[in-house]
Amino acid sequence: MAIVGAMMFLVGVEIMKFIRLVRTTGEWPAIGVTLVVSVVANMALGFVAGILYCLLSSKIAGKKVP
């Protein structure tokens, strides 16, 4: 169980480093969706939810996903 805790700590550190680099406001909703689903369900579902949010919001807004 200690290994899982250490892995979660390192993932949290990496996420915090990424969040410090986010500058545009358009990325915050996707980060929020990913974070909430990851905490409530699990990290894999959070990843999928974030990708789906990005794809759906780009289709609605008519923008291309990079």
Structural domain spans, the chain = 24-66
| Residue 64: per-residue pLDDT | 67
> What pLDDT band is residue 65 in, cutting at 50, 70 and 90?
low
pLDDT, tens digit, for every residue of 9-57? 888 788 788 778 877 777 788 888 888 898 889 889 999 999 999 889 8
CA angle 60, 23, 29 (to 5 degrees): 40
Q: What DSSP assignment string belongs to 10-44?
A: HHHHHHHHHHHH---GGGHHHHHHHHHHHHHT-HH
